[in-house]
Chain A
Amino acid sequence: GENVEQHPSTLSVQEGDSAVIKCTYSDSASNYFPWYKQELGKRPQLIIDIRSNVGEKKDQRIAVTLNKTAKHFSLHITETQPEDSAVYFCAASIGNYGGSQGNLIFGKGTKLSVKP
């Protein structure tokens, strides 16, 4: 089955710096890659996602890149702010329109700390 590896497990940056989190997946059939942000004790919230027919997607300070050949995808956060501090999870899904299942396989998470 699918396996998702995520690095680093912890990341500390200064406010205003960029942060990069990387994930690799094993199943070449995976075609949907969301990123979730989870604050302590709260539910995971989707911050950005990318599908396999797209190489890059950007939403304000957040961007995700996907390399299907290498089977890895990355989250880039620019101009980090203290409120970006949280645990970030990448995930992969073998989703397809009309498909029968769509569970997410998550990486183990990256704890991002942004120091003022």
Chain B
Amino acid sequence: DSGVTQTPKHLITATGQRVTLRCSPRSGDLSVYWYQQSLDQGLQFLIQYYNGEERAKGNILERFSAQQFPDLHSELNLSSLELGDSALYFCASSPSASGSNEQFFGPGTRLTVL
């Protein structure tokens, strides 16, 4: 157990819908990262937050957004869902904003868009 929690574990929804994925970082970690893992694209970085502020953006679609709240948990919002958005979504946390520290991954949320 990494200490990072994600809910829900599984999510099945239809095209065009909107969903929210939730992540709670390890106690004391200020950085949260979101990654998307699909079969053909591997692990893709989406976005990073540090202590409530956006710090880095990767290949995140405009239909996706995220935020980090004062209690440091983070939510990833996916809207106007398409079949291709089906994937495993991981969040990871680390103590600082720097990339020189280990990132601890949560168990992931498996999103299926029908």
Which residues of A come within 8 Å of B, CB atoms?
A: 31-32, 34, 36, 42-46, 49, 51, 89, 91, 93-109
- Are the C-beta atoms of A43 and B99 separated by less than 8 Å? no
Known A-B contacts A43-B107, A44-B43; A98 and B98 likewise in contact (beta carbons under 8 Å): yes
Partner of B103, one of A51, A97, A104, A105: A104
Instruction: Report chain B residues within 8 Å CB of A104.
Output: 33, 35, 43, 45, 99, 103
Partner of A102, one of B48, B58, B108: B48
Q: How many residues of B contact A (CB 8 A)?
A: 28
- Are the C-beta atoms of B43 and A93 separated by less than 8 Å? no
Contacting residues of chain B (23-65) with chain A, CB-CB under 8 angstroms: 31, 33, 35, 42-45, 48, 50, 55-56, 58
What 0/1 readout, one digit per residue, does chain B (76-111) give for beta carbons within 8 Å of chain A? 000000000000001000101111111111111000
- Are the C-beta atoms of A89 and B99 separated by less than 8 Å? no
Tally of A-B residue pairs with Cβ under 8 A?
87
- Are the C-beta atoms of A102 and B90 separated by less than 8 Å? no
Closest to A51 in B: B100
Contacting residues of chain B (59-76) with chain A, CB-CB under 8 angstroms: none
* Subset of 22 A-B contacts with CB under 8 Å: A34-B102, A34-B103, A42-B107, A44-B105, A51-B100, A93-B99, A95-B98, A96-B100, A98-B98, A100-B50, A101-B48, A101-B97, A102-B33, A102-B48, A102-B97, A102-B98, A102-B99, A103-B48, A103-B56, A103-B58, A104-B103, A109-B42
- Are the C-beta atoms of A99 and B43 separated by less than 8 Å? no
B2 located at the interface, meaning its Cβ lies under 8 Å from any Cβ of chain A in the complex: yes
Partner of A97, one of B45, B98, B104, B108: B98
* Distance of A89 Cα from B31 Cα, bound (Å): 21
* Distance of A36 Cα from B105 Cα, bound (Å): 10
Apart from A96-B98, A102-B103, A104-B103, what are 5 other A-B pairs with CB-CB below 8 Å? A100-B56, A102-B31, A102-B48, A102-B100, A106-B42
* Distance of A49 Cα from B48 Cα, bound (Å): 21
Instruction: Report chain B residues within 8 Å CB of A105.
Output: 45
* Distance of A30 Cα from B34 Cα, bound (Å): 20
Closest to A97 in B: B98
Closest to A107 in B: B42
